[in-house]
Chains A and B, each alone.
Chain A
Amino acid sequence: MAPRVLISTFGFDETKVLRALRWLPYDSLVLLAGGKSLRGPGLRRLRAAERAGGGTVEIVAVDPFDFPSCFRGTLDAIERHRRAGAEVRVNVSGGTKVLADAALLASFQAGVEAWHCEDRPLRLPVLRGVTLTDDLTPVRKAVLAAVGRPLPATKVADRVRLAGFSEAAVQAAINWLRLREFVTVEVRGGVAIVSRNPRTAWFVRSLL
């Protein structure tokens, strides 16, 4: 059986994580935490509890008020443990709301189970195993890679065609990416310019 890894958001109150540990089966625990909570008594108590149970706690340090930091931290932890063959679950009951929301979004996009363990455990409705990258076909990836800098749509087509894709496929890919806000298309001086959407650009980089 694959090892079960529970990735949990954590603030100061260890009871929120302990509730998840009681409800969700796990073999090892990863905490997403940052700031003062890394020096708090809650973490010391949690570590002691895990030690008593023969386990250890892996800490992923994030800035709990910075969404990209929390999102990347969660996504990296999920991917690292999945690559190692683990079955990953995420619990978002602890820590700041920013951290919980970022961890939740990372879980949706990575297709792993996300749980809220407050009064009772609640699994969020996510299609297990369905990830955002499933929708990124090779031609869509090629377009995203080509528009690292803003480019006229015709040049994007020229570049991506070199990789063996038809112009129609490239146009369809640009349209798909525009509708999902991966890229923006602006007409400047009569020319359609394709760029990565600044709102999602940092995230797109992690997909390529």
Chain B
Amino acid sequence: MTVLFGTLGWRPQSLMPSIKSTEGLELVVFYHSAHEKSRAARSRVAEFCSTLGVAVTPVELSDAFDLLEIAGRIRQDVLRVRREGQGPARFNIAGGTRLMSSAALLVCVLEGIPTTYVHDETFKEIQLPLIHMDYADHLSERQREILAYLVAHRERPPSETSLAKALGVHKSTMNHHVKELVAKGVVEVAADPKDTRAHLVRAAPGAELLVG
């Protein structure tokens, strides 16, 4: 049985072809904005699914323009579906705002989910050549640990010295790891506004998506 995820805008036609073409469809989970036209499209998709006897979970996004929040929400749902063993997933990223679509694409790349698009004019479904990129494989165990710590302490970013202490690593070793993470673009180092001699280390926006 398959779970179909989708982003929905104002046109239900952007999602319908995937509902029709998915074999063994068990559940449709789709994301839409609070706009009146999106809600109208939601009703039509839900009605169609109900006619087919397919379960449907519409998710209204509080902000259809906050890419990182949307990506975080989608990823959480994808992981839950996997944990519950609800079958393979596929994703239609055609509808919704550009940022909803990009957020979904990002999750599909990170999680290796087969992705489809529906042509704006012909409504023909197109399979995207999306290949799973496991970014975690490109970070060492220690780097993942540092990144996870920084994500968990996003509100109060530590200095490099306190980060080294917290993770039980020598200062110079931590300096090496931080430099590598900065070069990879997932960590940022900025001057501490309270102490100009100190530097704070923080996770780059969206880094939580890379550490799962």
Contacts and interface: CB of A to CB of B under 8 A. Distances in A.
Interface stretch (B78-86, B123-131, B192-200): B123-131
B-side interface mostly = loop
B209 interface: yes
B131 A124 contact: no
Given A122-B68, A128-B184, A200-B131, A104 B102 contact: yes
B101 interface: yes
B121 interface: yes
B131 A203 contact: yes
B37 interface: no
A202 B129 CA distance: 8
Contact of B185 (A113, A180, A199, A202): A113
A121 B210 CA distance: 20
How big is chain B's contact interface, by range?
35 or more
Interface in A187-208: 199-200, 202-203
Interface in A82-112: 92-93, 96-98, 100-101, 104-105, 108-109
B117 A199 contact: no
Interface residues of A, number: 38
Contacts of A200: 129-131
B99 interface: yes
A180 B132 CA distance: 6
B98 interface: yes
B207 A125 contact: yes
A105 B128 contact: yes
B56 interface: no
Nearest to B130: A105
Contacts of B130: 105, 200
Given A125-B68, A130-B184, 7 more contacts: A97-B98, A101-B117, A116-B67, A122-B68, A123-B206, A124-B102, A181-B114
